Structures are given as structure tokens and as C-alpha cells.
Structure 1
């Protein structure tokens, strides 16, 4: 239920005190009761704005501590993140499935290219860009790396039922979300690495110290290829993207 998720988001993401969390959740509850619509089950931010003005909460804020408008602003921000997160999950699932499909369609070891490429296309979700990724490129890197984990070559945890080879996943060393900061495409062979599931989880969920140690090793191996692809970034700049 979005109500519980909103409460957790206020605590974990916004770091608010329990009293503030109660006030903001209570504000959305009040709008829901006044409108007769459970706003915790809607994703329509415009509807929330309309109810805020229609049912007199704007006037209440004018004589109080602006609890309602603060609650509305936080809830709209929460809805935006939920919408983007859902779209990213769908995109990620489809991408990973297509990478696996492409792996079965490559008969010989591909030759990787480091020719600079134009930025990929993107779509906007809640005003945030989600950049397209070509699963063929990721599958070619995995094949070229011989299904080896570039984070640690001895990591061969299990055999994939689909490929009958060591199971690895593709990871963009410079995350695609930073494409706007680069003139040329980040979805290229130079920026895609082959990682075992443990190293892949570590680079997303490990401590900063563990992440940077792994990213530093990967960067050292890919620095020249990145430069050939007109992707210029220092290790310090790359590290800052993982904070």
C-alpha cells in the first residue's frame, strides 16, 4: 500500500522526525477524507493539487503552519520517484532478458569497437530521462570477455542454464543516468563490463570503500578504451558518481 511506502520514504529518504511523518501522512489522509478518494491509491499529482484547493486546505494553510501544502509537496515528490522507479524496473527487466537472448544469437567471439557513438535515444518519465540501452552491445562484451567476471576472474559461481557458461551480467561503468553530462554515448563497448552477480551486487549495494576499490580496478582496465570512445572522465570524477 502506498501509505506505508510513503511513511517509509519520509523516514528513509527525507530523514524526517516521527512527528513530521505523522503530520504529512495525516495531511494526505485529510485530503482523502474530504474528497472521498483514497489518494494513497492514485498516481495523479494534478488531482491532488485540485483537491488541495477545492476542499479548502489552501485556506487552512494560510492560517496555520502550512502542514497540508508541505504534505502535498512531499507526496507528489514520492509519486514521481515511484513512477520513475517502476519504469526503470520494467526497462531493466526487459534489457536483461534481451541481453540473454542476444547471447544465444552470437556464434563467434565479436570484435569490440571503440569508435565514438552519438548519444542514444531516451524517453521521459516524470520529466526524467531514461536512456535506451542496446542489449546486443552488452552481449558482445560478455562474449568477448569469455563469460569472465572482470571484477575478479576467479569468480565462477555457477553455470547459466541458458548459455551453459559461467553466469555473468553487464554493468555500465559510468551509469547511463549521467548520459546528459557526456557528448558521446555511454552505451558502448568501452563502458560496459562483465561482472559476476556478487560483484554486480557489490557495485550497487556495497559500502563506498568496497565499491570504489572495485570500480577503480575496472576503470584502470577500461581507461584507454573510454578515451578512444571520446568518453573522458577521471577516476575521482567516476568515484563521485557512486556516492
Structure 2
């Protein structure tokens, strides 16, 4: 991959109003989501046709339905999430119903950047925002995929703040009322990432479990 060198300020250091940067990022996200792609997941298996696939593993065939079903099937009485304090047995049953409902939703799928944040931008003297680092790009639910990633950064205290998030939604052309399935998809993502950490990266279990617990607490109020 060849990239042009851009000699301007990183978005974190730019003097341009941060809400203006986030508004442009919202506009970009909408454009990115309109790119024609196929499939689901982060692996580009057919560049000519823009087809993506999620890696299959025990319990999932790599499809969206397989992804959701894997997370449903993992909610058992012996689930390690219970021992980690992420959910109780009763909450597990509630989460199962939420995930079952997600399987029925007629979601639209599109290309997601996967890591929209100020650190991945360069802002020039005219205030134009250049979006960098496409290493986390994937096909997922739109508009929700990139928005829940931005929400995750917000929950973790990495920004954006409330006004900047509203500017991001405004740039996209959405309001908070349009995001009815957002928290449930955020929960699904948090649970899936924690299950990945348990299987593949034990050193990340603690922070991923803490975040998953935060999302559970948001939803189970």
C-alpha cells in the first residue's frame, strides 16, 4: 500500500474546533457506509467484487447470523462471564432474548472504517479532515458499526464528549432517536470481544470484562 505524506496537525493536536472535526467524520462515515460491498467481517476474500468474510471458528460459520448465534449459544449456566462478574444467571437470560431479537432485524450491511477517532486524523490549515488507518476496516451493520465503536471510545473516556458525539451524528444526518438498536449491538460486540480474549488473548480478559460489565449495567437498569 502506498500512502501520501501529509504534513499537517494530528486531530488530537489541531486548533480546529473538535466538534467541527467530528462533524466531518460523521459525513465521512456516511460516505464510507455507501460503498458497495458484500458479506460480513474483516477479511477481504474477493477484492474484485468487494466481498468480505469473518473468520469461521467453532460455533460460527463466519456469517452475521453465525456470529450472533455463537454469542447466544455461549450464554450457558457454565458461562465464564458469570464467574468474571460480567453477568448474573438472570441477566444471561435477558441478554439471550436481546440477541435473539437482533437475529430478526433486517439490518443493512456496509463498509465500516472500524476506528474513527481524532488520533486517526490529520487536519490541514483549511480545516479539512483526512481520515487515516484503515487496518480495522470491515463489513458490518450500518450505520451502527462505526457509531458503536465511537461510543465505546466515549465510554472508555477517550472521547468524543457529548457535544462532539452530537456533531458526529449531525454530520451523518442522524439523531439519537434513530439509534434504537445501538446499545444491544454494543453489548453483542463487547461480549464477542471478551470471548475472543478468553480464547486467544488472556492478558486482555480483565479490561474487556470491565467494559462488557459497563455495557451490561447501561442496559440492565
Do Structure 1 and Structure 2 share a fold, with TM-score over 0.5? no
Q: Which structure has more helix as a fraction of its residues?
A: 1
Larger radius of gyration: 1
The normalised TM-score by structure 2 is: 0.31
Higher-strand-fraction structure? 2
- Output the TM-score relative to the length of structure 1: 0.29
Q: Select the structure with the greater relative contact order (CA < 8 A; seq sep ≥ 6).
A: 2
